[in-house]
Structure 1
């Protein structure tokens, strides 16, 4: 199995199927994922809470690997994530990138770059054009 295959299986089993037991299959116990939460690394244990929290906002998620590069232990992928909103049937489409180092068939470290603002806009949890509103100095909640 290539590193890209491992990454595909991670997204299929954990994110699409919601199989939290697969986290231990594809993510090293000492592994960490940067770039998801502002306050640091996400561990395997953190994914057990994070995955269901994100999946609660969508139906029928899918991940397309639009581009990828493998080099030794490393795999980089440009992802297109599609789903429909949990509250209705409105489409959600966001993109992101991930670079992972895979050791012994598991993700040992990952560096993520996803723009969650469009995700939450399309899910109806932020106003449309939230980024532009914030750039203009608008506040979206209490100061």
Structure 2
């Protein structure tokens, strides 16, 4: 059985996925628009340019998402969940943390802890909470 995260965005899913692809060394597998679906996915012309489904692969793992459809499931910021990344090196941890916190907010600065060589939390500019955890050697 496989499990992966599916994120919902407030109209900026495609922008987020392009940002993640660039800064997390991901590969976008698909970004489909509502306007490409039969009958616009049943969501009306105002959703035509919004993302009905996106999928990318980051280091062999899939991340998926879409834009929220207000008439069925209005957008709500993520609460009580974070995506956790485990970089392989200190340089990667610092690079990824800087990219994800840029334009967002830092919950805990990337720093040494009793359990990790570096750990930090942030919420990115798209409203997605992240944990960066560089394990001790």
TM-score, with structure 1 as normaliser: 0.28
Task: Judging by fraction of residues, say which structure has more helix.
Answer: 1
TM-score, with structure 2 as normaliser: 0.28
Task: Judging by fraction of residues, say which structure has more strand.
Answer: 1
